[in-house]
Chains A and B, each alone.
Chain A
């Protein structure tokens, strides 16, 4: 569905991404794991079409989308809700850009994720976890088939994060879009994804591709199994090489 081929990106003399190849299949959850400053966000900006690559192609549904905007759903690191819009008005924002939003569907989703009573509240009255849920529903409600999540839980505390990861999986299993998920947490990547790409430090190259063998639906007991731990160890070996100067 999404295929990225030989992607290079540099800012002036500073090479950020070098020969990146990856693909996301239909209804697949793919995580990209990499150290901070490795160009993960640059990769998203390229897919989002805000910036153009020096070399390489980004193909979505057999169409080259280099520099084309508006073809992905997006959930940023910060919730980025508009403070003057109510929760309901916020979740339809992304859909609003391409046409008339489906308010009924939005209400149903809020109901489903337990935010129905906050429909008319403003973001200022919500907790951090609730804001991220709203932000995720906003991304789900826009009609693009690829969902790009940029470290959505990195600003949350550990307790909220695990809760949110479980929540994300349960919602996603009901509505399986293709997902590209950026994270710097190994556990998060294993827990959520079907496949993991590991990026090296700058200039980022594709260091490894790992298939996660665990079946779905998953829950937090997976986090305590030896298989989970072994996989974590294996991925950590790749990361370790990046920490060493």
Chain B
């Protein structure tokens, strides 16, 4: 608990100060709500609209989790292939980097044209934004295996497979988790963007509706929930990391 205070407490206090400043400025300058709502208005909106919002939140959460798990599995799979088959690495790695250069905002409408308004194009968007950090982090992890441990495994006659599954894979776990944390935050963003472009439900849909009707307080409420979702995911991943990564110094 004390550790949590040291880590997050100070930034929460600072954030509160900023909110108070914001509230005061809105009050003093008498800014209309459709331009910039005060934090108190946003909180009121969150409180009043929570039941209406609930459905959207659950929908986005499901989409995020599904997309994240697909993206991470694909990412890990690709990383293993690329690491274990250096020839495939030479061919595919540049293509992977290029795939990250396509702006999501351009790609998403195309995917909708090709695949319709179903789940599939949305999942492709989310997977696409979150598999890359996993690939890069995992491959770095595999490569950074301690040389003396590898030498030991070779000396006692371990096969390539044994070296990978008993040494390189567990050794890379902390790196993989770092990638996973980045991917998790990206995946919420990916989900919201994919919902913008066509969905019946979700925070993205709620946001577009709020924006087009100048309900800026609702936009802020949506932003708040997006952040909450990201933090939640991040926390869950840290928890799993703590349970799985043992005997090593704690990462960030």
Residue pairs across A and B with Cβ atoms less than 8 A apart, 30 shown, are: A48-B155, A48-B156, A48-B157, A49-B157, A50-B154, A69-B154, A69-B157, A70-B156, A70-B157, A70-B158, A72-B155, A72-B156, A73-B156, A74-B156, A80-B148, A80-B152, A82-B166, A82-B167, A82-B170, A84-B170, A84-B173, A84-B247, A85-B247, A93-B166, A97-B156, A97-B158, A97-B162, A124-B247, A142-B156, A148-B155
Judge if A35 is at the interface, Cβ distance under 8 Å.
no
Judge if B62 is at the interface, Cβ distance under 8 Å.
no
Given known A-B contacts A82-B149, A93-B166, A76 and B246 have beta carbons under 8 A apart: no
Cross-interface CB contact of B157 among A45, A71, A80, A124, cutoff 8 Å: A71
Interface 0/1 of A142-169, CB less than 8 Å to B:
1000001000000000000000000000
Interface 0/1 of A122-151, CB less than 8 Å to B:
111000000000000000001000001000
Q: Which of A82, A85, A94, A96 has the most CB of B within 10 A?
A: A82
Closest to B150 in A: A80
Within 65-81 of A, Cβ neighbours of B (below 8 Å) are at: 69-74, 76, 78, 80
Contacts of B152 in A (CB 8 A): 74, 76, 80
Interface 0/1 of A46-71, CB less than 8 Å to B:
00111000000000000000000111
Give the number of residue pairs across the A-B interface with Cβ within 8 Å.
Answer: 65
Contacts of B245 in A (CB 8 A): 84
Contacts of B151 in A (CB 8 A): 76, 80
**Do the beta carbons of A76 and B162 come within 8 Å of each other?**
no
User: Measured between alpha carbons, how far is A78 from B38 in the docked complex, in Å?
Assistant: 62
Judge if B87 is at the interface, Cβ distance under 8 Å.
no
**Do the beta carbons of A124 and B248 come within 8 Å of each other?**
yes
Judge if A181 is at the interface, Cβ distance under 8 Å.
no
User: Measured between alpha carbons, how far is A73 from B157 in the docked complex, in Å?
Assistant: 9
User: Measured between alpha carbons, how far is A97 from B161 in the docked complex, in Å?
Assistant: 11
Contacts of A109 in B (CB 8 A): none
Q: Which of A49, A84, A85, A86 has the most CB of B within 10 A?
A: A84
Contacts of B247 in A (CB 8 A): 83-86, 122-124
Given known A-B contacts A50-B155, A73-B156, A122 and B246 have beta carbons under 8 A apart: yes
Interface 0/1 of B123-159, CB less than 8 Å to A:
0000000000000000000000000110110111111
**Do the beta carbons of B154 and A48 come within 8 Å of each other?**
yes
Closest to B159 in A: A97
The smallest beta-carbon distance between B177 and chain A, in angstroms, is 13
Contacts of A76 in B (CB 8 A): 148, 151-152, 155
User: Measured between alpha carbons, how far is A90 from B30 in the docked complex, in Å?
Assistant: 68
Closest to B146 in A: A80
Judge if A44 is at the interface, Cβ distance under 8 Å.
yes
Contacts of B156 in A (CB 8 A): 48, 70, 72-74, 94, 97, 142
The smallest beta-carbon distance between A88 and chain B, in angstroms, is 13
Contacts of A70 in B (CB 8 A): 156-158
**Do the beta carbons of A44 and B155 come within 8 Å of each other?**
yes
For the complex of A and B, 4 pairs with smallest distance between CB atoms? A70-B157, A122-B247, A69-B157, A80-B152
Closest to B244 in A: A84
User: Measured between alpha carbons, how far is A83 from B171 in the docked complex, in Å?
Assistant: 9
